[in-house]
Every structure is written in C-alpha cells, then in structure tokens.
Amino acid sequence: MQRKAYAVIVENGRILLVRYHYPAEQAWYWNFPGGTQEPGESLEQTVRRELLEECCVEVAVGPLLLTDAPAGRDYERHFFRCEITAGRPHASDNPATNDSIAAVEWVPLENPAYCGGWGRRNLPPVIRALGPARGPAF
C-alpha cells in the first residue's frame, strides 16, 4: 500500500489547496498539497519535497493531524500541520516536478463547498482534526 503525505497550512482563516489534473478521469480536483512517499523517504521529508515542488515553498512539518485510508483506494493518507518558512505559494512552472497543477489557492475554512463535492467530503475531517485553535501551530 502506498503512503501519501499532505500539508495542512492555515493562515488568516484560510487553508492552502492546490488544483490537480487527474488524466485518467480527465478531470480537475482540489486537494491538499503533498503526494506519494518515495523509497527511503520519511513522511515528513515527503511533505517538504512535495511542497517545494508543487507550491515553491519551504515548510516546517508539525504534528500529524489525521491518517486515513480511503475505501477502494490502494493508499493511506497522512495529514501534517505545517507552517511556511520560506517563499509564498504559487504553482511551479517546472514540468519536471509539476505537470498537473493548475492553481494554488487559499480557501476559506468556513466554506468547504467552495471546492465542490471534494471540499464537502475532504475538508470537514481535516478541519475537525485542527480543533478549535486553527491559527499557526508553531
């Protein structure tokens, strides 16, 4: 089973999301920045590498917020609270590391439906895991 690591970054009541293209489905979906763990890599290293590749930022990886294994999928997801330490998020234009992201956006925590069905399904468990203190965790 594959392991995926994602960053949960909250600033000013907004959460950082990316819009990915899924070629097999010919569709675009919002998701947390992150991706698949490579051999020999810790989950924390995965988060740092993926954020640099996808969003052009360096992050400090904080506590693990949530782990789940979506039904019918061959992976488990690990969500880490992170803080940006260098750079401002934007989609990388390097095709070697980022050929599937169309946008990087700060999305209001109060409006999961902003991201359509994906947001209604995926944002609420992560927002609950954040707890009442949704500001910087560091």
pLDDT over 90 (residue 136): no
At 88 the pLDDT is 95
Q: Which fold has domain 2-130?
A: Nucleoside Triphosphate Pyrophosphohydrolase (3.90.79)
- DSSP for residue 112: G
| Backbone Cα Rg of the chain | 14
Percent of the chain with pLDDT over 70: 91
Mean pLDDT of 99-113: 81
Could you give the CA distance from residue 37 to residue 45 in angstroms, rounded to a whole number? 8
Buried b (16+ CB within 10 A) or exposed e, 106-133: ebebeebebbeebbeebbeebbebbeee
Query: Who contacts 32 (Cβ-Cβ below 8 Å, separation ≥6)?
Result: 6, 7, 8, 16, 17, 18, 79, 122, 126
At 101 the pLDDT is 76
pLDDT over 80 (residue 23): no
> Could you read off the pLDDT of 26-58 as tens digits, one per residue?
777 888 999 999 999 999 999 999 999 999 999
